[in-house]
Structures are given as C-alpha cells and as structure tokens.
Chain A
Amino acid sequence: QQQVKQSPQSLIVQKGGISIINCAYENTAFDYFPWYQQFPGKGPALLIAIRPDVSEKKEGRFTISFNKSAKQFSLHIMDSQPGDSATYFCAASMNNAGNMLTFGGGTRLMVKP
C-alpha cells in the first residue's frame, strides 16, 4: 500500500504558536520523506526533508520528527508567523522508485496575527 495519510486537513494557529502536522505511512520501503509548502497561486516547493536514519531534522523554525517504529513523521513549525499560512504536503518515496513521490492529502494552515 503506497499511501500516506496526513492530518489535520486544516489548522488554525495564533501567531507565535507551534503548528504540528502529522503523517503516517504503511510501506516500510519508503526511505525519503519530504515536506512541501504551497502558497495560493503557486506550485508546491520543497520545505524540508528527512531520511529514516535520523529521528529529527531542524532547519530554522521548521523541524521534522520521525518515528520509524510507528511509521509516522511530523512537521513542527515553531513561532508560527502569518507568512507561514499555506498548504503543507508530506510525501514519501522509496529507493527503487527514484523520485516517485506519494503525497499526503495536505493541510491548510492559517496563522492568525
């Protein structure tokens, strides 16, 4: 099953708060887990990515936490800003499938001033 389940579908956070988006997968052959950010009227753009050999990756205010045994990974946005308001997609791919990404259903984040 090459499915990636993402939750919540929408999220409202106050400025300065922490935004948390969760994803779960079934296929243990997945070995690359990127997050994409999409602003209205734009295509998705890579935000941050992780491989399963590490449990956490941090880039600025954005952190991916990865739990291999639970087959779950999450995106944390610290000190959320109104400019972070966008749709976020988690994705997964496996080594023998090159860049064939399986995307989650997306989370629409709104950060209120």
Chain B
Amino acid sequence: ETGVTQTPRHLVMGMTNKKSLKCEQHLGHNAMYWYKQSAKKPLELMFVYNFKEQTENNSVPSRFSPECPNSSHLFLHLHTLQPEDSALYLCASSQRGASSGNTIYFGEGSWLTVV
C-alpha cells in the first residue's frame, strides 16, 4: 500500500475510444501530479495540480485531459489516443510548500496500450 492508488492497473484501448485513469491519495497531500513513463522518456511530468488548481501543463496534447475534483482525487481522461501514447502513467502526490524538498509519493501506475 503506497498511499497513492491508481486504477485500472492495465488498460488496452483503441484509438477512437474514450477512457479514464483514476488516482486517489490517502496521505492528506495538497498537490497531485501525472507523469508519463516510457522507454523514450523515463519520467516525464504531464500535469500538476495544487489545491485542485492546475498549475502546470507540460505541453501535453489535448487528447489528454486532466481533472482534479478535490485534493484527494485525480483523473486523466483519454480520447483519440495514438499508439505512441502507450506507456506507464504514474500518479503522484506531495505536500506543496513554498520550498522544495517535500517527498513526492508515486502510485504503482496504469499501463496503457493503444491499439
């Protein structure tokens, strides 16, 4: 139990499908993140939410749409993806403060395959 739970763990979807990844953190944190992990770019930050507000969008294509309804839940809505979007999508959370150094806790990831 990592404190950050991701579902589903594995997802196969067609390029025309619409699906969502879900993340829940049980650590009382106020910041949540989506990272993409692939062989090409091992840990690539996608989105950052602080106190439910999106504060970072790292030039992510619009076919990825995040949603953060509260500080404990984070979604990544997927639509019209491409095969090159196949990767491990990691959710993470931390306490957000003015200074660096707060530990980021990762979930176990959702393996996405686009066919």
A interface vs B, CB < 8 Å?
31-32, 34, 41-46, 49, 51, 87, 89, 93-95, 97-101, 103, 105-106
A-B contact count (CB 8 A): 62
**B88 closest partner in A (C-beta):** A43
CB <8 Å contact, B100 and A93: yes
Please determine whether A105 and B100 come into contact, CB atoms closer than 8 angstroms: no
Interface residue ranges, B against A (CB under 8 Å): 2, 4, 31, 42-43, 45, 48, 50, 56, 90, 92, 94, 96-109
| Given A43-B92, A43-B107, A100-B56: A106 in contact with B100 (beta carbons within 8 A) | no
Which of B42, B48, B101 is close to A105, meaning CB atoms less than 8 Å apart? B42
Instruction: Assess the B96–A89 pair: CB atoms within 8 A.
Output: no
CB distance from A98 to the nearest CB of B (A): 6
B98: chain A residues at CB < 8 Å are 95, 98
Report yes or no: B100 in contact with A43, Cβ–Cβ below 8 A: no
Which of A43, A51, A95, A99 is within 8 Å of B96, CB to CB?
A99
